[in-house]
């Protein structure tokens, strides 16, 4: 594959969004894993309840990040 095809692929809006979401989930997931471990060991809160809340919260957080990023782009 030539560099122009790869560059064109990486410039695709859908690919950029997928890459950004993957990076976000990797860091967020690692943090949630650590927090879940401590919640399980130190509190009486069920770990599955925390993970359910985390799943919903992460969707809302990522939508806010995307919205803010789009606003920043439109101001430039």
Write down the domain spans for the chain. 21-75
More confident residue, 52 or 3: 52
> What's the pLDDT score for residue 72?
61
Closest CA to 34 of 47, 23, 45: 47
Helix, strand, or coil here: 47? helix
Helical (H) or strand (E) element with 50: helix 47-75
pLDDT of 60 > 70? The answer is yes
Calculate the average pLDDT of the chain: 82
Helices vs strands, H then E, count in the chain: 3, 0
Q: What percent of the chain has pLDDT over 90?
A: 4
More confident residue, 56 or 67: 56
């Amino acid at each position: 594959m030539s560099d122009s095809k790869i560059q064109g692929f990486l410039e695709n809006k859908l690919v950029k969004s997928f890459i950004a979401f993957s990076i976000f989930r990797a860091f967020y997931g690692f943090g949630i894993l650590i927090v879940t471990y401590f919640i399980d060991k130190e509190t009486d809160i069920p770990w599955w309840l925390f993970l359910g809340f985390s799943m919903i919260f992460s969707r809302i957080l990522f939508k806010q990040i995307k919205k803010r990023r789009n606003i920043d782009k439109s101001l430039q």
